């Protein structure tokens, strides 16, 4: 395939061309299996790397080019080259090292190493190197092709001064734009047909969002385009279809009913955080229509949404993540939580992101790589992100901005369909805004939410920029930091009521017993919460466990005879004259005598 287009030569091709008759041994590694764009005679051609090397060497007056690979394939593709080689191979031995020995013409030996155990090819290389170092034409050369730089033996660099190593990276945006221009007519036809300017603008955007893809993968997109009748201007859909297949439809099924249900569900399960709920819903609406990262021009590669939940412990941050996963994914397998307290030590990074192959072990996929590979549309939750090891933090900016990383096996792992959530408990309602100091531990008064929001946001920024020295990571978060408020007085009764209802449901599911309780039970729990100065949902749950669940559990465990299917908790009383706080629970007998009760204690009083 060729066309008359301007071609800005890839850096690695420019480097190879420049050193062609300066160095004698070339090591090319990396993206050697991709399509190559090469300009010759003012025409851009696409070819595989062996074809490219042959054409480049012919253009630079090399008269004999021999290819040899790990399958013991000896090939001289040009007939005139083969005739010249036959003159030096008198015994028809097909010994490619003879090429390095002859001094009549510039010759090149291309060796392709398919595996790290390429013993036959390494034997040929060593033999050719021995001949190269003696006599022969001064421009005779050896080119070695390796899949990865790590496959190159170190002795090759140590023993030979004329080695020039070139890493063939992924195609640049310019390469992708040029290649898409070459193959643009292979996509399903647009209706109506695009003008030249429209098509050019479309290709430019197409190239920008395909960072991380090889040119050969762009060729595959033309097949998808024709198979599913997706024209080139719908390139976002094409790329998602290629990366994620049918899973890319997960977001397409989200509609206004989903968000209506989400608002109701979040307000029911998370109390006192209405502003955060509203902001998160707006962010997820933007994510559902694919506008995340649009201001940075990277809306296809960036994760669907990035949410940083900051605030005190026990105010609903983790619960918010669970709710979002339930609403938008449904399948719990698509919710992946990692507590960074477990990834705070040296060696944490490969456990998450994997480790490449070494001489001692095969490549190892990390837990995050496995999750996103299996479920591209996932909710990834980094809990207590401030506790993560620095090497873990350093991997995150690329995910948040580029939307992909290179896996341990050299494959691209895309995060474009994920929601990424960070939770953090750093920050408090203490600090200074301007000249004014806030410290509710001294005053006993909680600042307004607007003040709390500023104080916590400032603490988070200082923590990442100054303490952790990771300003880039903080900047990647942008305006996606959502500060949860403290649990305030008016909200506490709502939380207590919701938690007691959950307790009643759990008892019914696990024991088959239906229990009920009066409003004075909720009031007793509320009084205990206020007395203990509890500020989070976990603290409230602990109070309910101590005041209500423990005495009731004792009743279930110690009760003699069959249990009633329905039990009514009519009162909870604090046992007087004790050095520590104890409660007894009063359960009605469910008969006509309203004054007949059973009193159950949280402890065995005879042992006090």
Closest CA to 186 of 155, 151, 232: 232
Contact 448, 279 (CB under 8 A): no
Predicted confidence at residue 432, as pLDDT, reads 64
User: Does pLDDT of 359 surpass 90?
Assistant: no
Q: What is the pLDDT, as a whole number, of residue 595?
A: 47
**Span 29-50, mean pLDDT?**
90
Least confident of 75-84, 526-535, 592-601: 592-601
The secondary structure of residue 188, as a DSSP letter, is B
Instruction: Quote the pLDDT of residue 593.
Output: 47
CB atoms under 10 Å from CB of 591, counted, come to 7
pLDDT of residue 591: 52
The pLDDT value given to residue 81: 93
* 474: nearest Cα among 306, 273, 300: 306
Instruction: For residues 485-502, give the mean pLDDT.
Output: 87
Q: How far is C-alpha 208 from the chain's CA centre?
A: 20
pLDDT higher than 50, residue 90: yes
Can you say how many angstroms the Cα of residue 603 is from the centroid of all Cα atoms in its chain?
A: 50
Give yes or no on whether 256-483 and 489-607 have one common fold.
no
Per-residue pLDDT at 605 exceeds 50: no
The better pLDDT of the pair 455, 254 is held by: 455
In the prediction, which pLDDT does 594 show?
Answer: 47
The residues spanned by each domain of the chain are 2-168, 173-249, 256-483, 489-607
Residue predicted with more confidence, 513 or 395: 395
The arithmetic mean of pLDDT across residues 228-240, rounded, is: 90
Averaged pLDDT, 187-198: 91
pLDDT digits (tens, 9 = 90+) for 155-169: 888 878 789 999 998
How confident is the model over 85-94, as a mean pLDDT? 84
pLDDT at residue 604 is higher than 50: no
The mean pLDDT of 518-543, rounded to a whole number, is 83
pLDDT of residue 439: 64
In 210-333, alpha helices (H)? 215-228, 235-244, 256-269, 274-288, 317-328
| Between 131 and 394, the higher pLDDT residue | 394
- Mean pLDDT on 305-331: 87
For residue 416, pLDDT over 60 is answered with: yes
The pLDDT value recorded for residue 52 is: 95
Identify the pLDDT of residue 328.
Answer: 80
CB distance 236 to 225 below 8 Å: no
Q: Tell me whether strands 107-112 and 74-75 are parallel, antiparallel or unpaired.
A: unpaired
Query: What fold is seen in the domain 256-483?
Result: Rossmann fold (3.40.50)
Flag whether pLDDT at 563 surpasses 80: no
Q: What is the mean pLDDT of the chain?
A: 84
Average pLDDT over residues 135-140: 87
The region of weakest confidence among 66-80, 413-427, 473-487 is: 66-80
Identify the band that residue 4 occupies on the pLDDT scale cut at 50, 70 and 90: very low
Q: What is the pTM of this model?
A: 0.71
User: Quick one: average pLDDT of 81-109?
Assistant: 88
**C-alpha–C-alpha distance, residues 140 and 69, integer Å:** 19
Among 429, 422, 499, 496, which Cα is nearest to 459's?
429
What is the CATH number that goes with domain 2-168?
3.40.50.300
Fold for domain 489-607?
Answer: Helicase, Ruva Protein; domain 3 (1.10.8)
Q: What is the pLDDT of residues 567-587, one digit of tens each?
A: 888 888 777 766 777 777 787
Report the pLDDT value the prediction gives residue 157, as an integer from 0 to 100. 84
Is 60 exceeded by the pLDDT of residue 269? yes
């Amino acid at each position: 395939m060729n066309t008359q287009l301007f071609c800005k030569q890839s850096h690695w091709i420019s480097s190879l061309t420049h050193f062609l008759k300066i160095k004698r041994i070339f090591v090319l590694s990396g993206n050697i299996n991709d399509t190559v764009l090469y300009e010759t005679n003012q025409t851009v051609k696409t070819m595989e790397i062996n074809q490219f090397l042959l054409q480049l060497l012919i253009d630079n007056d090399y008269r004999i080019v021999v290819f040899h690979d790990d399958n013991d394939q000896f090939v001289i593709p040009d007939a005139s080259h083969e005739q010249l080689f036959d003159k030096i191979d008198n015994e028809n031995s097909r010994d490619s090292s003879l090429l390095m020995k002859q001094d009549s013409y510039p010759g090149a030996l291309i060796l392709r190493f398919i595996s790290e155990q390429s013993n036959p090819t390494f034997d040929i290389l060593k033999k050719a190197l021995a001949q190269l170092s003696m006599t022969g034409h001064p421009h005779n050369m050896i080119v070695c092709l390796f899949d990865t730089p790590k496959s190159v033996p170190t002795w090759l660099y140590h023993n030979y001064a004329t080695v020039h190593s070139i890493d063939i990276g992924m195609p640049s945006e310019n390469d992708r734009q040029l290649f898409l221009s070459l193959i643009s007519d292979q996509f399903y036809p647009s209706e109506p047909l695009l003008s030249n300017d429209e098509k050019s603008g479309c290709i430019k955007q197409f190239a920008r969002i395909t960072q991380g893809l090889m040119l050969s993968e762009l060729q595959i997109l033309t097949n998808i385009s024709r198979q599913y009748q997706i024209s080139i201007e719908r390139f976002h859909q094409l790329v998602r279809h290629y990366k994620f297949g049918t899973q890319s439809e997960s977001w397409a099924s989200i509609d206004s009913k989903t968000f209506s249900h989400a608002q109701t569900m979040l307000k029911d399960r998370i109390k006192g955080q209405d502003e955060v709920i509203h902001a998160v819903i707006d962010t997820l609406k933007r994510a559902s229509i694919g506008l995340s990262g649009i201001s940075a021009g990277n809306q296809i590669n960036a994760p669907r949404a990035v949410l940083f939940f900051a605030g005190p412990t026990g105010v609903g941050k983790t619960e918010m993540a669970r709710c979002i996963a339930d609403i938008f994914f449904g399948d719990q397998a698509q919710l992946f939580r990692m507590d960074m307290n477990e990834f705070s030590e040296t060696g944490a990074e490969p456990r998450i992101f994997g480790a490449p192959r070494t001489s001692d072990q095969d490549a190892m996929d990390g837990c995050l790589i496995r999750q996103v590979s299996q479920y591209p549309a996932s909710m990834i939750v980094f809990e207590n992100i401030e506790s993560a090891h620095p090497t873990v933090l350093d991997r995150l900016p690329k995910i948040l901005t580029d939307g992909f990383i290179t896996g341990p096996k050299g494959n691209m792992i895309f995060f474009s369909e994920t929601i990424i959530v960070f939770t953090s408990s750093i920050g408090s309602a203490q600090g200074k805004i301007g000249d004014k100091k806030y410290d509710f531990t001294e005053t006993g008064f909680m600042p307004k939410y607007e003040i709390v929001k500023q104080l916590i946001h400032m603490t988070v920024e200082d923590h990442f920029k100054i303490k952790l020295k990771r300003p880039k990571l903080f900047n990647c978060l942008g305006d996606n930091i959502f500060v949860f408020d403290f649990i305030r007085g008016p909200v506490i009764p709502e939380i207590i009521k919701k938690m007691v209802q959950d307790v009643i449901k759990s008892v019914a599911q696990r024991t088959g017993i239906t229990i009920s309780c009066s409003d004075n039970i909720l009031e007793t729990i509320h009084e205990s919460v206020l007395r203990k100065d509890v500020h989070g949902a976990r603290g409230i749950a602990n109070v309910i466990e101590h005041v209500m669940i423990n005495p009731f559990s004792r009743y279930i465990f110690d009760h003699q005879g069959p249990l009633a299917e329905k039990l009514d908790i009519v009162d909870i009383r604090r046992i007087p004259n004790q050095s520590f706080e104890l409660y007894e629970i009063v359960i009605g007998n469910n008969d006509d005598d309203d004054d007949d009760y059973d009193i159950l204690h949280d402890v065995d009083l005879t042992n006090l």
